[in-house]
Amino acid sequence: MATVNYHISDIRNIALAGHGASAKTSLADALLFAAGLAPRRGSVDDGTSLLDVDEEEKRRHFSIDSHLIHLEWDGKQIHLIDSPGYPDFIGSALGALSAVENVLITVSAPVGIEVNTRRLFQEAGRLGRGRFVALTKMDADNVDYLRDLESIRETFGPECVPFNVPVGVGPDFKGVIDVLNPPADVPEGCPLSPDAAARMVIEQIVEEDEELTNRYLEGETIALDELRKAAHDGILRGHIVPVVCLCSRLDIGIKELLDLLSCCGLSPADIHRFGVASAPGLASDPPAGGSDGVEAQEVEIDPTEDGDLVAQVFKTSIDPFMGKLSFMRIISGRLTPDTPLINLRTGKTNKPGHLYVVQGKQNEEVPEAIAGDIVAVAKFDDLHISDTVTNGGNHSAPHVVLKPINFPTPMVPRAVEPKAREDEAKIAASLAKIAEEDPTFTYRRDEQTHELIINGMSDLHLDVILQRLKNRYKLDVETHIPHVPYLETIQAPAEAEHRHKKQTGGRGQFAEVHLRIRPLPRGEGFKFVDAVKGGVIPNNFIPAVEKGCLEQMQKGVISGNRVVDVEVEVHFGKYHDVDSSEAAFKTASAAAFRKAFEKARPALLEPVVAMEITVPGEKFGDISADLSTRRGHITGMDTLPGGLQVLKAHVPLAEVLSYSSTLKSMTAGQGSYTLEFHSYQPVPAHIQQQIVEKYQKSRAGVEEE
C-alpha cells in the first residue's frame, strides 16, 4: 500500500466475529497466507500467529483485543479486523463491527452455535451489515454438516443458504464445491447435493428481483454474473446470508471464501452512514439539539472519495514505542499526513503527521487514505473512541457528528488498592490509560465508601485488566468485593440535647445544643432550620451547629453510611462567653444529632438495580427461582429469536455483586445481563440488624468468627 491506486468500490472491510475458539484468528492467518503475505501460516497454538501480538494473548491462546490486517485479492483491497470471541471482551468486537460493512461470523462445526455467535449475528443485522457465516474446523471429529446447516437456518433464519458444500466431513474433509459454479464432475462424499444446495441459493437470490423470479420460474438458466450481482443486493438488504465451509489448518475453502467476499461482499459505497448536524466550528454546540428544544437534524453522509472528510475513531491502543494509536474509519473524503483534523467533540485541531495501516503488530506508513480505508494516527491524545473528526470542509455548512458506538455497561465491580503505599499516586493514571483502550472498563472513586472501584464485563475481563496493570505499569493490587453504598435515614421525628464541657487546664470548651429531627420525603436530602430565640446560641455559632450535623450525617450513625432525607431544627442551647467556640458547638451538635437519630426509628436504604437477563428458554425457570432467593422482583419478560428469553427484574445490588459467575455457571456460559441503578429502598429489618451488628463489632474491634 505504498500509494492509493484503488477506489472506494474496490474496498472490502470485514470483521471476523463469533464465539471464542471458533478459529477466527486461525482463519485470518490462513487468509494472509493464501494472499501470499506470509511465508507460512501462523498458528495460535504455537504462538506464531501474526495477529496475537499481546503477550497475554499468547499466554492464554485467545484474542483479547481486535487486530487489523489487510491484503489484496482479485483486485480488491480487503481490510480485516479479527475481533475477540469471548463475551468478556465484547467491547472490542462491537468496535470492529462499527468500522466495517461485512461481518463474517465463524461457527465451530464440531461445537455449533454458541452464545456470542447469536449476539454478534444479531448486532451485525441491527447495524445493517452484510453477514456471512463460515463453518470452521470442518476436519474435526464428530462434525455433522447437515445438523449444523439446519441449526444455522433455524436460529438465524431461512436467508442463510449454502454457497458451497463440503466434499467429505471430519477427517475425510478434502474440499468444497461452489454450488453456483460447480465442476463438471462432482466428486463423491458431499453430505448435501450441490444441485439441491444450488436450488436453495438461487431461489433465495431470485426473490430479490421480480424479473429474475419470472425467468427462473419459466425454466431459464440465470447467468452466474447476474446471480452474483443479485446475491450482493440481497446481502445488502439482509435477505441473503451465505454459508460456507472451510478448514484453516488444511487451507481448504480459504481461496473460495476470498473469491466470495470479493465478488459479493459489500463495499463502503454500499452503506450510507448517518450523523447529526452541529454548528460549524463550534464543538460546544450539542449535536442532539439546542436549548430551544429543536430536534437535531439527522444527516446522511455520502460515502465518496471527493467529499468533505468525515471519520470516526473506533479503537485506541497504547503502543510501547509510538504512544497512543487512534484507529479511525474514513467515512467520506481523503486524508493525508498534512490534513488538519478537527475533533468535533472538543474543537481541537491537530495534524496527524503520519498515517499508518496496520498489519498485525507492524505499522506501515502510507501517504494517503480514502473513504472506506481504515488507518491509524499516533500521538493524537485528544482523540477517544467514538469521536468524529473532520478537516473543516465547507466552513459555512454544519459539521456532521457520527452517532457514538454503542457499548454495553460493565457489570462486575471490584474494589482495588495497591499493595505498595507508594503506588497510590500512579494507580489512577494507569487505570485511565487502560480505560482509554477499553470502553467496557471503567473506574471511579466512590465518594461514600472511599474505595477505588473498577468495573468490567466479567471476572476474566478484570483478571486480564489487572494482569495488564502489572505487566505494563508494574502495579500489584489487591481486590475485594466493594462495599454496598447503603444510606441511613429516619422514619419518625425525635429530639435530643447534648452538653459538651471540657476543662483542659487553659481555656475550656463549652457548648449545649438542643435539636429536633424529622424525616423528609425520599430524595429531599437535608434541610436545616434555625429556630433559636433570645440569643441562647449566638448567631455566629449557628453555622457550626449545621456543620456538626452535616459532618455526622456524612459519617453515618448506625452503620457508617451517609444519612439522607432528614430535617434538623436547632431550637435551644447555651453558651459561655469565654469557653464557647465553633469547634465546641460542632462537637455538641454532632452528639445531639446522634442521640436524636437513634430515637427516630433509624432505617437503612439499599440501592436496587433494574436487571435484564437473557438466557436460553430452558433455563428461564432456574433463573427466576434463583432471583427470588436474591429478594428480586420480576417486572416483565420477553422472547428473542434463537430460543432466548429475557427476564426483567428489580434486585438489591448487594445480592448481585458477584452475579456474573453465578449466571455463567447456571447457563453454561450462555446467559448475559445488564443492570442499571433504579432506586433506593428500605432494607428488611433482619438484614438491617445484621449490617448494624457487623458495624458495631468493627467499631468495637471485635473480630468475627
pLDDT digits over 306-327, tens only?
989 999 999 999 887 888 999 9
Q: Answer yes or no: do 257 and 277 share one domain.
A: no
Q: Is the pLDDT confidence value at 403 over 70?
A: yes
Contacts of 158 (CB under 8 A, 6+ apart): 204
Other residues' Cβ atoms within 10 Å of the Cβ of residue 86: 22
Residues 544 and 462 in one domain: no
pLDDT digits (tens, 9 = 90+) for 208-258: 889 999 999 999 999 999 999 999 999 999 999 999 999 999 999 999 999
163 and 132 Cβ atoms separated by less than 8 Å: no
- pLDDT at residue number 672: 81
What are the CA-CA distances from residue 578 to residues 501, 506, 543 (Å)?
12, 11, 19
Q: Is residue 654 part of a domain?
A: yes
Shared-domain flag, residues 171 and 81? yes
Cell of 74: 482479485
Q: Which residues contact 147 (CB under 8 A, 6 or more apart)?
A: 112
**Which residue type does 87 have?**
P
- Establish if 234 belongs to a structural domain: no
**Predicted TM-score (pTM) of this structure:** 0.80
Is the pLDDT confidence value at 561 over 80?
Answer: yes
Which band of pLDDT confidence, cut at 50, 70 and 90, is reported for residue 44? confident
Residue 704 has pLDDT above 80, yes or no: no
Domain-located, residue 432: yes
Q: Which residue has the higher pLDDT, 62 or 287?
A: 62
176 SS3 class: strand
Which of the four pLDDT bands, split at 50, 70 and 90, describes residue 119? confident
pLDDT in tens, 329-360: 999 999 999 999 999 999 999 999 999 999 98
Is residue 365, in this structure, part of any structural domain at all? yes
| Same-domain status, 33 and 162 | yes
Chain centroid, CA 571 distance in Å: 53
Cβ pair 268, 101 in contact under 8 A? yes
The answer to whether residues 563 and 620 belong to one domain is no
Q: Quick check: helix, strand or coil at residue 300? A: strand
In the predicted structure, residue 565 carries a pLDDT above the cut 70: yes
User: What are the DSSP calls for 43-67, one per residue?
Assistant: -TTTT--SS--SHHHHHHTS-SS-E
Beta bridge partners of 498: 513
96 part of a folded domain: yes
- CA end-to-end span of the chain: 67
Task: Find the DSSP H helices in 506-562.
Answer: 542-555
Angle at 579 between CA 578 and CA 581, to 5 degrees: 105
Grid cell locating 465: 485488566
Pull the grid cell for residue 540: 455566629
Domain shared by 184 and 52, yes or no = yes
139 and 154 part of one domain? yes
**Mean pLDDT within 610-620:** 90
Last residue of a domain, one of 480, 508, 531: 480
Backbone angles phi, psi at 80, to 5 degrees: -110, 135
Q: Per-residue pLDDT tens for 451-499?
A: 899 999 888 899 999 999 999 999 999 999 888 889 999 999 999 999 9
pLDDT (average), residues 300-305: 92
Residue 290 has pLDDT above 50, yes or no: no
pLDDT at 279: 58
Distance CA 692, CA 684 (A): 12
Question: Given this model, what pLDDT does residue 703 score?
Answer: 45
Examine the domain organization and report whether 177 and 161 are in the same domain: yes
On whether the CB atoms of residues 578 and 544 are closer than 8 A, the answer is no
Domain boundary among 402, 436, 461: 402
Q: Would you state the pLDDT for residue 131? A: 98
Q: Which range among 216-225, 260-269, 271-280 has the greatest average pLDDT?
A: 260-269
Are residues 428 and 382 part of one domain?
Answer: no
Domain of 524, CATH number, reads 3.30.230.10
The average confidence (pLDDT) of the chain is 91
Is the CB of residue 382 less than 8 Å from the CB of residue 348?
A: yes
Residue 217 lies in a domain: no
State residue 394's pLDDT score: 55
CB atoms within 10 A of CB 558: 19
Regarding whether 360 and 282 lie in a shared domain, the answer is yes
CATH number, domain at 451? 3.30.70.870
pLDDT value, residue 286: 43
Residue 643's pLDDT is: 78
Please report which confidence band the pLDDT of residue 293 belongs to, taking 50, 70 and 90 as the band edges: very low
pLDDT of res. 673: 81
Specify the CATH number for the domain of residue 638.
3.30.70.240
Angle in degrees, 0-180, between the axes of helices 254-264 and 24-34, rounded to the nearest 10 = 80
What confidence score (pLDDT) does residue 312 get? 97
Q: Are residues 127 and 255 in the same domain?
A: yes
| Number of domains into which the chain is organized | 5
Among all chains, which residue has been given the C-alpha cell 419470472?
214
Cα 39 to Cα 197, 256, 448, distances in angstroms: 36, 20, 58
In which domain, by residue range, is 171 found? 8-199+239-264
The confidence score (pLDDT) of residue 318 equals 87
Is 229 within a domain?
A: no
Residue 302 belongs to domain with CATH number: 2.40.30.10
Residue after which a domain boundary falls, among 600, 630, 650: 600
pLDDT at 45: 75
Percentage of the chain modeled with pLDDT above 70: 95
- Residue 224 is assigned to a structural domain of this protein: no
Which residue from 614, 613, 610, 662 is spatially nearest to 118, judged by alpha carbons? 614
Is residue 48 pLDDT above 70, yes or no? Answer: yes
**Max Cα-Cα span within the chain:** 113
Clarify whether residues 457 and 519 are in a common domain: no
Lowest mean pLDDT among 31-40, 346-355, 525-534, 641-650: 641-650
